[in-house]
Amino acid sequence: MADPSFDIVSKVDRQEVDNALNQAAKEAATRYDFKGTGAEIAWSGDSVAIKASSEERCNALLDVFKEKLVKRQISLKTLDAGEAQQSGKEYRLTCSVNEGISSDDAKKVAKVIRDEGPKGVKPQIQDDQLRVTGKKRDDLQEVIALLKGKDFDFALQFTNYR
């Protein structure tokens, strides 16, 4: 029988992000402080585009979007928001939703597991995820608890625990 293992991934439920975006757009259309500012939020390819008549309204709409993401249990670590740029009479702000673990980030996580984790647990980098195998399930649960206690600058989820 194969050793117990689990995968460490950084994925975002696109449907939940879409729902949060739609809620933020609806709130921008109905809220009094957004009236007449031309505030809009919508998908622009794989990123989220925010438009408004002033930089403050762009940032306020970004805060509304972040609030909606948090309510839907999506980590704000996956959101990479830029600065508001002036484009003609309006300001634009672009946010990207990051998925996958970069190789540098995967190496950081693997180093933490090797240095602080229990002996006999092996992390392997596979594309944009990390597979962790060990002899005992208790060791794997210890690794999960260790990683949840660490504060990485990217979101982690644990899947395929078997």
Number of domains in the chain: 2
Question: Which residue range forms the structural domain that includes residue 34?
Answer: 14-97
Residues 106 and 68 in one domain: no
The proportion of the chain whose per-residue pLDDT surpasses 90, expressed as a percent, equals: 77
CATH number assigned to the domain comprising residue 153: 3.30.70.860
3-state secondary structure of 61: helix
Mean pLDDT within 12-19: 94
Q: What percentage of the chain's residues is helix, strand, coil (to nearest 5)?
A: 40, 25, 30
Residues 82 and 148 in one domain: no
Chain centroid, CA 111 distance in Å: 22
Alpha carbons 146 and 153: distance in angstroms, whole number: 15
| pLDDT of res. 13 | 92
Domain boundary among 97, 123, 139: 97
CATH number assigned to the domain comprising residue 29: 3.30.70.990
**Which tens digits make up the pLDDT trace of 25-78?**
999 999 999 988 889 999 998 899 999 999 999 999 999 999 999 999 999 999
Residues 55 and 122 in one domain: no
Burial class of residue 72, CB neighbours in 10 A (0-12, 13-18, 19+): middle
The tokens for 134 are 């060990």
Residues 18 and 92 in one domain: yes
Residue 79 and residue 97 in contact, taking contact as beta carbons nearer than 8 Å: yes
